[in-house]
Chains A and B, each alone.
Chain A
């Protein structure tokens, strides 16, 4: 049972007060986002003069999509979006495979050393990314990579300024493994036994039986991987120099030359935020529950 109280138990003045407070807070949380979306449609002079009144939050006056057109003229926005989509999509996809396999091996198979491995994986949760960012920068600058020049494979040194340097270090994730382990342990062991009697190997059990039953944890891990990778700033700031590999968040730097065109800034910000907001609003229950799940950590 939960601590939910019947709303009728509350005296009317208190209900009104509570509702007023909730609406006031809602305005407080939503006003910058509304301002961003509305301002992205206005020319700079109107955007600036509207800030002194409630017009700042209303799409009125000289409203157009000109700022969005301007964004594509000012920066290679499509390239940035493409880079972000590739980096985020690949990290999420590979992360789901690698972490769920590890979770499966730990939760449902028996092998020597698995307890030590799980303990060590959990122990790494204490290390924040900020602690390893600087040495990791040195490390990836020395790693070799096999690239293709035409059809000829060539070995190059250093991962800096590439898409894979934004992907590979973030595929394995201790917390994702932990979530998979928790979930896989909650599935009945009998399904493995039955499948084995039918002659299925462990990998088939993983792929054909356990994974199809694991929708909720797959969604949770996907969301918890997607958000920080899409929103990443510190790491891509350090490892990307050319426009060809920069993601959307680092792209914001291109807007701060001599004259800041705020309308275009707002258009760019809206563009890189709307996909996330749309996804959140569509899957809000899964989002909130996933993020609450990260509260298990610690």
Chain B
């Protein structure tokens, strides 16, 4: 929205070529408080995020802040592959350890060697291919896991939650009193605090008396034993995904619904006259009519998914074994928990770049043809 044609049109229609006396000053005066507050508490911290990310700023520190260049970003984003051959004995054969596997040089000897290009890197992944051991070494292994968790969370949540939301919208898209009741019920979790919901579901997921286990046990006649949903690295993130969708899907139902209601009914009548069945009507009338709504929904879910924090902080604190740690959780852990404002700011900048890329994709998808 670069210009404000309406204001201009209105001004021209009024035929006023000059500002009324004092109008200019009063305009600034009335918009002033909002402008100042937005500059102070949004624009300034936003610029600070970029500036601080290149320093060693701490929340409280006796030492002066110093510029450290790209050190924080190198810490966050460095990825290097290290391939190691097994140790050889004097005859040139592979050394076999007591467990029957080849012996490789110790990684820590390399990452603790100041002269090595792998100095201070951390092990993120390890795989053996054809007798060679490959390490993927990174500057910050917990951050890498968090980044992957965050993206995985978004990749699962985005298609499922938007599809589920559309299903709900199609179900409640009729003007009947009883249907309004259902719409209200589906919407209840949206107005409920995420803190409350996270605690509630923490109990539902509990391995001892949790309702989820009790229900699954009863429904499968005990075939599914009690699962420690939040305590097992394999199930913790999926459990949080289910809960997050449960909370937010009502919001997207409402957005889909407003999209559905912009589709003119004569299109459906025409399609019905042409003998189109329900599915054909959906494919050829409903879905094309929802194009912009669907882009908007995909983007909002993605950005919200990238910001995943409250559920993690309340339910798992990033555990077990960092399996639920996320980008924002790390930003808060480092920036607030460890008071390393600079490193937390660098993570915030990475997060902003993620959000911006998604917003640019939206721009591209909804561009005027």
Contact = CB atoms under 8 A, between A and B. Distances in A.
Given A4-B174, A110-B24, A138 B48 contact: yes
A49 B44 CA distance: 54
B59 A137 contact: yes
B39 to A, nearest CB: 9
A51 B214 CA distance: 7
B203 A262 contact: yes
Contacts of B255: 292, 295
A119 B57 contact: no
Given A25-B186, A26-B186, A138-B52, A114 B310 contact: no
Interface of B is mostly: helix
Contacts of A288: 183-184, 187, 254
Contacts of A194: none
Nearest to B41: A169
Contact of A287 (B179, B191, B218, B262): B191
Given A1-B266, A52-B214, A233 B310 contact: yes
Contacts of B351: 128, 130-131
B191 A101 contact: no
Interface in B165-214: 168, 171-176, 179, 182-197, 199-201, 203-204, 208-211, 214
B254 A298 contact: no
Interface size class of B (residues with CB under 8 A): 35 or more
B352 A21 contact: no
Contact of A168 (B41, B190, B264, B341): B41
Contact of A110 (B11, B179, B186, B300): B11
Contacts, number: 312
Interface string A127-147: 110111111111101000000
Given A111-B23, A273-B192, A292 B59 contact: no
A151 interface: no
Interface stretch (A27-35, A58-66, A72-80): A27-35
A172 B33 contact: yes
B30 interface: yes
Contact of B31 (A36, A101, A171, A273): A101
Contact of B332 (A115, A139, A238, A295): A238
Interface string A186-207: 0001000100100001110010
A277 B203 CA distance: 21
A245 interface: no
Interface stretch (B117-125, B129-137, B354-362): B354-362
Given A102-B35, A172-B34, A29 B335 contact: no
B115 interface: no
